[in-house]
Chains A and B, each alone.
Chain A
Amino acid sequence: MKVRQVIMGVACAGLVATAIYASKAQAADDIYVPLFTYRTGPYANSGIPIANGMHDYLTMLNERDGGIGGVKLNVEECETGYDTKKGVECWESVKSKNPTVVNPFSTGITLQLIPKASVDKIPILSMAYGLSAAAVGKDFPWVFNPPATYWDGLSMIIKYIGEKEGGLAKLKGKTIGYIFLDAGYGREPIPLLEQLAKDYGFNVKLYPVAGKEMQDQSSQWLSVRRDRPNWMVMWGWGAMNPTAVKRASENGYPMDHFIGVWWSGSDDDARGGGKAAKGYLALNFSGLGSNYPAIQDIKKYVVDKGKSQVEKDKFADTFYNRGVYNTVLVAEAIRNAQKLTGKKVVVGEDVRRGLETLHITEARWKELGFPGFAGPLTGISCADHSGHQGAYMQQWDGDKWVKVSNLIEPMKDKVEPLLQDAAKEYVDKATGWPKRTEACDKAM
């Protein structure tokens, strides 16, 4: 009985303590950058390298430059496990600490947070994921999805296919298979895919993969064998990717006709397939390898000093660099915000303005220590929160990814009307959606 009472007592005390803790105000002499990460759960294989990349770049800025503009960054991870419930919980727990920006790194969590962003005055940076329609800055002043939306990504892939076939006109009569994670994420590109199919006269075959079945996929690939699509496009995530690559090679699908979106192109995704996965293609918009001064700085200041969780052989792999890319945007937005407001310690409202004026030219990438790391990011404006920047195609050579194309520009003319429609529809359905009141800053 004693033990039980003690246990109950401890539990109650714990509750009270949390209450007190959570209500304690946060000291505000540093810039608070929460990172929503997932190093656990079924999607951890994609989440871990990204978390490491984000964490290490910001830590490097702290170690090398003493933060941004002389103010230390307070980097804190909140583990979501790719679970919406925990994501929302993370949002509630960081929101009282003056966060600068939130990177949910999950389409599901992003969708939940979008309506909260404008109310709580915290900008959301959903880098090339989340709600495509959020690129419309007029309706979504607090949400940013640079450098490109899923629809941009799909149009780039179709363009690439067209190029390989000898012109978009040659797509007529061809069949393109689309294998996707059966969730909002995988379903979003379908309207554009169907429209492009109509415009260019190709056929579309859909192969949904339920989250629960992502480690099996044998029926889907068997159907692929039956339908013999000329090209396969994949919108996969987590454990779905390596399995799909394996099944494709087992079923003898020509790997160089199999293209993944940028979230299906990590080293782990292809490594499982090994040599047999050679030829597999994926979009990418961040640099490959560690051959950049800033990445070397991360190694010098963070990894070699044991301040990172990254395993040595996974340093600077594709998704690690993707994480770095994400935080470069965050850092630039904070810098912009400091310039715009003249404040040193910036908060969400300032960083929203910083994100809206985000402008990273080739020269600026070089200045940051990333020459040629990524294409210029110059398209963001108050009206366009995505920028519709291009991405390049990378190919797995059996051991590592290699860049095989120049930047492919999205078909902006096809994507833009869809975006506008989707945004309008979203706003119409969400009665009482706030009108944009935020002023627009001049780009810097």
Chain B
Amino acid sequence: MDILYSIFIDPFVQMAQAPDLFVQTLWDGLVGGMLYALIALGFVLIFKASGVFNFAQGIMVVFAALTLVGLHDAGVPAFLALLITIAVMFALAFTVERVVLRPLVNQPDIILFMATFGITYFLIGFGEYVFGGDPKVMPVEDFGLEKGAYNIKMLGGLVSLQKLDIVAVIVASAMVAGLGVFFSKTRIGRALRAVADSHSAALSVGISLEQIWVIVWFAAGLVALVTGIFWGARSDVSFALEVIALKALPVLILGGFTSIPGAIAGGLIIGVGEKLAEFYWGPLVGGGTDAWFAYVIALVFLLFRPQGLFGEKIIERI
């Protein structure tokens, strides 16, 4: 009975007794979820346009952030460093398209997936060789971002909102909205959706696949840079950041591989879900559930909706 009580009743009692903590958990989950969604967004962009499951997204986050901080540490002014980093991400997109994707056109998905592992390995070695493996502090102040927190008194307690987190949520939302508009309103965006529907049909109406791929990889690079800045500010910029990319995978499952709103919704569900689970139910099993909880949510979800929340229903023909 005690067990049942502590599973089904006690957590809700706690929520009611300390609503400020509940709100805080929701907020932390929201921020975490938004940041997961950002990484997932990078995956979605590339998957949508080229069908490549880009495992290198995680290392791209690290690489972008490292380039930025590395340049800044070398004395380059912050905004110039930002511009150079953007240029580097473009060069990366261009190289990947030329060296990896183009020779592998029309190969099975798993081969392209494997090729992105090759890219990951290369970038780990290259990044560590150039910037060293020691962690770097993200100079957020130099980008005009403030540290510190707003402490709001509410519900008989204190809810503290980190200024950086607020900016992260705003920027992430803006980015998603911007990308959404880009895909639906601009010429390139439409071309990109055409490519997603059918490579050969798109080619036949004169859309350049190469160009599209460079553009999506570049867009994914930009998303990686933004992700890197915010994750870097939350902890340090180091190669350990790479593992957070794994957190984007359950988000992808929930949202579907091809849906931008799905990535956001998935991110929020995972973010809030795992924080609530760890905070209220984690102590029952000794804590640390956030290592796997997201995957289990995703797994359960998949059993009911195999194509994800917003994914396209796959109709299989023989």
Interface residues of A (CB under 8 A from B): 39-45, 47-49, 182, 206-210, 212-216, 218-220, 222-223, 225-226, 238-239, 242-243, 246, 250-252, 268, 271-272, 274, 276, 311, 314
Inter-chain contact A215/B241, CB cutoff 8 Å = yes
In the complex, whether B278 has a CB less than 8 A from a CB of chain A is yes
Inter-chain contact B135/A272, CB cutoff 8 Å = yes
15 other contacts beyond A213-B290, A272-B137, with CB at 8 A cut-off? A42-B240, A43-B240, A44-B134, A45-B236, A182-B288, A206-B287, A208-B286, A208-B287, A209-B288, A219-B25, A219-B28, A222-B275, A222-B279, A223-B283, A243-B234
Contact mask for chain B residues 228-256; partner A; CB cutoff 8 A; 1 contact, 0 none: 00010011101111111010000000000
Inter-chain contact B236/A48, CB cutoff 8 Å = no
Query: Which residues of chain A are within 8 angstroms of B239 by Cβ–Cβ distance?
Result: 40-42, 44
Inter-chain contact B160/A40, CB cutoff 8 Å = no
Query: Which residues of chain A are within 8 angstroms of B243 by Cβ–Cβ distance?
Result: 42, 212, 215
Query: Which residues of chain B are within 8 angstroms of A206 by Cβ–Cβ distance?
Result: 286-287
Known contacts: A215-B231, A246-B234, A252-B160. The answer to whether A222 contacts B288 by CB under 8 A is no
Partner of A40, one of B24, B128, B147, B246: B128
Query: Which residues of chain A are within 8 angstroms of B235 by Cβ–Cβ distance?
Result: 215-216, 239, 242-243, 246, 272
In the complex, whether B132 has a CB less than 8 A from a CB of chain A is yes
Q: Report the 10 A-B pairs with minimum CB-CB distance, sorted nearest first.
A: A44-B133, A42-B240, A239-B240, A210-B291, A219-B278, A243-B235, A208-B288, A45-B135, A215-B235, A218-B28
22 A-B interface contacts by CB (under 8 A):
A39-B133, A41-B239, A42-B238, A42-B242, A43-B240, A45-B135, A45-B236, A48-B132, A48-B134, A210-B291, A216-B32, A216-B235, A219-B274, A219-B275, A226-B18, A238-B240, A246-B235, A250-B162, A268-B236, A272-B135, A272-B236, A274-B137
Inter-chain contact B160/A239, CB cutoff 8 Å = no
Name B's interface SS.
helix
Q: Measured between alpha carbons, how far is A124 from B113 in the docked complex, in Å?
A: 42
Q: Tell me which residues from 1 to 49 in chain B have a Cβ below 8 Å from any Cβ of chain A.
A: 18, 21, 24-25, 28, 31-32
Q: Tell me which residues from 66 to 84 in chain B have a Cβ below 8 Å from any Cβ of chain A.
A: none
In the complex, whether B177 has a CB less than 8 A from a CB of chain A is no
Query: B178: shortest Cβ distance to chain A, in Å?
Result: 26
In the complex, whether B282 has a CB less than 8 A from a CB of chain A is yes
Query: B287: shortest Cβ distance to chain A, in Å?
Result: 5
Query: Which residues of chain A are within 8 angstroms of B288 by Cβ–Cβ distance?
Result: 182, 208-210, 213
Partner of B291, one of A42, A213, A242, A274: A213
Inter-chain contact B135/A222, CB cutoff 8 Å = no
Q: Tell me which residues from 52 to 69 in chain B have a Cβ below 8 Å from any Cβ of chain A.
A: none
Query: Which residues of chain B are within 8 angstroms of A210 by Cβ–Cβ distance?
Result: 288, 290-291
In the complex, whether B170 has a CB less than 8 A from a CB of chain A is no
Task: Pick the most buried of B133, B137, B274, B275: most chain A CB atoms within 10 A of its CB.
Answer: B133
Q: Measured between alpha carbons, how far is A56 from B288 in the docked complex, in Å?
A: 39
Known contacts: A210-B288, A216-B290, A218-B32. The answer to whether A268 contacts B134 by CB under 8 A is yes
Q: Measured between alpha carbons, how far is A18 from B222 in the docked complex, in Å?
A: 43
Partner of A45, one of B25, B31, B133, B291: B133
Inter-chain contact B25/A250, CB cutoff 8 Å = no
Q: Which residue of A lies closest to B18 (CB)?
A: A226
Inter-chain contact B133/A40, CB cutoff 8 Å = yes
Q: Which residue of B lies closest to A226 (CB)?
A: B21
Query: B146: shortest Cβ distance to chain A, in Å?
Result: 13
Query: Which residues of chain A are within 8 angstroms of B91 by Cβ–Cβ distance?
Result: none
Query: B250: shortest Cβ distance to chain A, in Å?
Result: 13
Inter-chain contact A212/B24, CB cutoff 8 Å = no
Known contacts: A44-B134, A268-B134. The answer to whether A215 contacts B291 by CB under 8 A is no
Query: Which residues of chain B are within 8 angstroms of A225 by Cβ–Cβ distance?
Result: 21, 24
Inter-chain contact B133/A223, CB cutoff 8 Å = no
In the complex, whether B149 has a CB less than 8 A from a CB of chain A is yes
Query: B149: shortest Cβ distance to chain A, in Å?
Result: 7
Task: Pick the most buried of B31, B147, B235, B274: most chain A CB atoms within 10 A of its CB.
Answer: B235
